[in-house]
Each structure stands twice: as structure tokens, then as C-alpha cells.
Amino acid sequence: MEAMIQRDINPMPFFEGRYVDRLEYLAEFAKKNKGKLIYWFHDTDIKKVNEMMSNYVTIKGNVPASLLIRGPPKAVEEYVKKCSEGGKDSGGYFVDESIGGIPNESKHENLRAMTDVVHKYMSIVNKHTP
């Protein structure tokens, strides 16, 4: 990733599974490379991620596909709002499904709930962008 950053490429590593035990290292690397990274998480304590590094890196993902496919809209709203806390006023948070983007099988009303949270609670601007 350092070689990419030196060439003005902003890496977006995908961290599959739970990375809580590695967050200290990821936060240290993000701090060293402030504004140069997007960290995409699959299944990690997003509140802890926000607390440790949202001032240095843009955070993406962590919304379970199962929630978008089967969950009620209220649960989607609450989950996405929780994910965005901390990221909205710092490095930013890209609302996205946790693994491969938004599934085709997602309920329309769940995507609407997710979008409504973005417009209601989040700033669209990434503060690390020059």
C-alpha cells in the first residue's frame, strides 16, 4: 500500500472477517497516511473502527447483505445510522454492503431506508478530499 500511496494511488483494502485484533495497526498506518486510504470492512466493530481511525481514513462497508435482503426497513435505518456515527464528521463513511456491493435481492424499502439515513444523518463530503 505504501508503494501505491507514493504513486498518488489511494488504496482501498478489503478486510474480510473480523479485524478487531488488528485495528491498532490499521489505525497507526491510517494516521501515518492520513487522507490516502479507504478501509473497506466486512464484519468488524464499526464503532471501534470510527473511534480509532475515522479522523485519518475513509471507512466503507459493514452493512450485512442479509439485513438488506431480509431485514425490516427500521432495522436497516438503525444499523446504517450506527455505522455512520463518528465517520460523518471526520474522514467519512461510504455506506455500502459488507462484501460485494448491494445485492440484487435487496428489498426496495430497505434500500430506501439506507438512502434516507445518508440524506438525514450524513454529510456527503469527504473531508480528506483536497
Q: How far apart are CA 7 and CA 17, in angstroms?
A: 29
Rounded average pLDDT over 79-103: 74
Phi-psi region of 48 (alpha: psi -120 to 50; beta: other; left: phi over 0): alpha
The per-residue pLDDT for 130 is 43
**Sequence spans of domains, the chain:** 2-121
Tens-place pLDDT, residues 3-51: 999 999 999 999 998 888 999 999 999 999 999 999 999 888 888 888 8
The residue whose grid cell reads 439515513 is 117
CA gap 44, 14 in Å, rounded? 12
pLDDT value of residue 91 = 62
Q: What is the mean pLDDT of residues 87-94?
A: 64
The grid coordinates of residue 110 equal 430497505
Question: Is a pLDDT exceeding 50 seen at residue 126?
Answer: no
Mean pLDDT of all residues in 114-123: 80
Q: Are 99 and 66 in contact (CB under 8 A)?
A: no
The continuous run of DSSP H or E covering 110 comes out as helix 108-121
Q: What is the mean pLDDT of residues 73-77?
A: 96
What's the whole-number mean pLDDT along residues 67-88? Answer: 85
